[in-house]
Chain A
Amino acid sequence: MAHVERGPIADIDDAAQTDEQRRSRGPWARAALELLRRPKAVFGIAVIVLLYGGGVLAPVLAPYGFDDQDLLAAREGPSADHLLGTDFVGRDVLSRVIYSLRTNLIVTATAVATGSLALGITLGLMAGYFGKRVDTAVMRMGEVFLAFPGLLLVILLAATVRPRVLEWVRGLEDATGIYGLAQWGVADYLVVFGALAVFSWVGVARLVRGQVIQLKAMPFVEASKTTGATAPRLILKHLLPNALPPVIVVVTMGMGAIAGAEVVLSWLGIGIQHPVPSLGSMIREGQDVSILRNQPHLILPPVIVVGLLVFAWNLLGDALNDVLNPRAR
């Protein structure tokens, strides 16, 4: 990581630190420290850890199962038994919110890991490093994806491909003998994460490409090329680490949008389906003027949780932007 010093994060200078301290830590550690000194970053991280942590620990934390119905206690307000009340078939709202966060985490994490990170970075590196035909092919492909307003493409994909995927999952059940895949929403997860991944790579790929093209012209890259560095070494040791800071900012800023897109898809009824809980379907069920007036406890919890989650990601992205300070786009 010796050359990382020349990356954009090397510009960070903090008068509070002595020269010695500054030299003793790597640039990433310094950026992390700098980040933790900002209230908005700390708030963002705290909210994200709290909400998604709750989602991960859902089976332990949730007082009830997400589909446990108690018809005798339907539509009740908050009480000691049900801290946030119950919905129209007597399911515990708090438990459903917690399990919905797990759903959201699974979809968001897989979509970002495969789409933004794996696809976006790989294609961006290839386009930037190899240039010429590869570059043209990747960038034109990206432009086609950008031709569709993002969410519309996701909706089109999710709405049309869903029956096919469901069929495929049923076939998989027969072939493997593992039943319950379709019932437990495997098809939904596949459709939603696939649709989100397909459209989220473009921005990252463009950014990485731009960074790589700039970095390729830098003396340190030329120098290591002259000393006989192989292409994989150049890409992994020199180009990738230096291209990463702005990518981290953009991916973080996009996390809120992807988490929100899952909610919108489920709200539209083409995302996560019953009985697997999602914040989107919870909002849809509670969205009625009479419910809004008489049982606000049905809609407020999912609405506030979604708002907090997206806000926290945006705050963190904003703080990261201040710290890593990529050249303004």
Chain B
Amino acid sequence: MPTFVLRRLLWLPVLLVIVSFVTFVLGHYGPGDPAEVRLGERATPEAVALVREQLGLDRPFFVQYGSYLADAARGDLGDSFAFRGRTVSELVFPKIWVSVQLGLAAMLIAVSLGIPLGLIAAYQQGRWLDTALVSLTLFFLSTPVFISAPFLILFLAVQLGLLPVSGWDGLFSASIVMPALVMGLPGVAGVVRLTRASAIDVLGQDYVRTARAKGLTEATVQVRHVLRNALTPLITVLGLSLATLVEGAFITETIFGIPGIGRLAVESIFSRDYPVIMALVLIVASAFVVANMVVDVLYGFVDPRTRQEMGAYGAR
């Protein structure tokens, strides 16, 4: 067990370095010469040369990458192209908390609706309720965010006037309901399907039959043997749903006018604000790597069987 955790943890910094390297190369050199990108197409060669020197672009490649890493570690992610005189950190960090709140609300919806519905589907396996739930979840899984959002706005806000069309007033307000629903519904579908599959699997296991055979009450069997084992795979959802939430955040936050990192990312892409794009990718990818690592290690604790199977490659 300790070697398993250790191996995963040693791999973490390596992954983070690779992630930062890919981001650096793509963000810095992908769009063309950084100095020209910053000055625009009509810049004189002298101005370009001057900016190159100011930005330190005349230094060797790895020196530049090294100083980028060192700056990033100190929280200095450069200056925004689009918002003159503002650093990327000023722009990005306040918005992270907004997106985290929205993501938590969405995840809460996914888990609190998904687990009961998944268990119901499993116990009703093959009956009409199960079929209905499974098709319904497939439908929600197939509904991209920018499809459910306009429909919800049209009905709940425009026609019924129940909720505000857009805006952001924090976690405990009416304005979070629609965006959280929009982001949470595909999650509900995912959790239902996973819970159903694993509960059906567990219900057919020998140890459940054994538990019943040795005379345990049905309640004990259900709680201690079925539920506990059926819900372990849900840990992976924590890691995977982070990716889904980030992807959903781009569109949801833009449509509902929420000042989070998703909307900032979309705006930065439109204004070609590369330092902001790079910073967001770096932060989100790092969070993603850490979350996956945590999931893998947790999974190793909860289900000893996976430790050997996974080796160094993770649960996915």
Establish whether residues A303 and B288, one from each chain, have CB atoms under 8 Å apart when the complex forms.
no
Establish whether residues B138 and A311, one from each chain, have CB atoms under 8 Å apart when the complex forms.
yes
| Surface stretch bound by A, among B45-53, B102-110, B208-216, B240-248 | B240-248
For this complex, 24 residue pairs linking A to B, each with C-beta atoms less than 8 Å apart, are A146-B314, A148-B19, A149-B288, A150-B243, A151-B246, A152-B247, A155-B250, A160-B31, A161-B31, A162-B31, A163-B31, A163-B37, A264-B146, A264-B250, A267-B146, A268-B266, A289-B165, A293-B158, A296-B154, A299-B150, A303-B147, A310-B144, A311-B139, A315-B138
* Size of B's binding interface in residues, CB under 8 A: 50
The reply on B270 being an interface residue by CB < 8 A is yes
| A253: min CB distance to chain B, Å | 10
Question: How many A residues touch the partner, as a band?
Answer: 35 or more
**Known pairs A147-B288, A162-B31, A307-B143 / 12 extra A-B pairs, C-beta < 8 Å:** A139-B313, A144-B18, A151-B247, A152-B247, A152-B285, A164-B32, A167-B32, A267-B146, A287-B150, A303-B146, A314-B138, A328-B201
The reply on B153 being an interface residue by CB < 8 A is yes
Provide the bound-state CA to CA distance between A314 and B140, in Å.
Answer: 11
The reply on B30 being an interface residue by CB < 8 A is yes
Determine the residue in chain B with the shortest Cβ distance to A155.
Answer: B269
The reply on B141 being an interface residue by CB < 8 A is yes
Establish whether residues A314 and B269, one from each chain, have CB atoms under 8 Å apart when the complex forms.
no
The reply on B203 being an interface residue by CB < 8 A is no
User: Which residues of A from 259 to 302 have beta carbons under 8 Å from B?
Assistant: 260, 263-264, 267-270, 283, 287, 289, 292-293, 296, 299
User: Which residues of A from 190 to 236 have beta carbons under 8 Å from B?
Assistant: 206
The reply on A187 being an interface residue by CB < 8 A is no
Establish whether residues A303 and B150, one from each chain, have CB atoms under 8 Å apart when the complex forms.
yes
Determine the residue in chain A with the shortest Cβ distance to B135.
Answer: A40
Determine the residue in chain B with the shortest Cβ distance to A256.
Answer: B142
The reply on A67 being an interface residue by CB < 8 A is no
Establish whether residues B26 and A160, one from each chain, have CB atoms under 8 Å apart when the complex forms.
yes
The reply on B82 being an interface residue by CB < 8 A is no
Which residues of chain A have a CB within 8 Å of any CB of chain B? 139, 143-144, 146-153, 155-157, 159-164, 167, 206, 256, 260, 263-264, 267-270, 283, 287, 289, 292-293, 296, 299, 303, 306-307, 310-311, 313-315, 318, 328
Which chain B residues lie closer than 8 Å to A139 at the CB level?
313
Which chain A residues lie closer than 8 Å to B165 at the CB level?
289
Q: Is the interface of A mostly helix, strand, loop or mixed?
A: helix
| B302: min CB distance to chain A, Å | 18
Provide the bound-state CA to CA distance between A256 and B288, in Å.
Answer: 23
Which chain A residues lie closer than 8 Å to B80 at the CB level?
none
Tell whether A160 pairs with B316 under 8 Å between CB atoms, given A152-B284, A264-B144.
Answer: no
Provide the bound-state CA to CA distance between A187 and B251, in Å.
Answer: 24
Which chain B residues lie closer than 8 Å to A155 at the CB level?
250, 265, 269
The reply on B221 being an interface residue by CB < 8 A is no
Which chain B residues lie closer than 8 Å to A164 at the CB level?
30-32
The reply on B9 being an interface residue by CB < 8 A is no
Establish whether residues A149 and B150, one from each chain, have CB atoms under 8 Å apart when the complex forms.
no
Establish whether residues B138 and A156, one from each chain, have CB atoms under 8 Å apart when the complex forms.
no
Establish whether residues B269 and A143, one from each chain, have CB atoms under 8 Å apart when the complex forms.
no
Establish whether residues A160 and B27, one from each chain, have CB atoms under 8 Å apart when the complex forms.
yes
Instruction: Give per-residue flags for B11-25: 1 if the beta carbon is below 8 A from chain A beta carbons, else 0.
Output: 000010011001100
User: Which listed residue (A143, A269, A299, A303) contacts B15, Cβ 8 A?
Assistant: A143
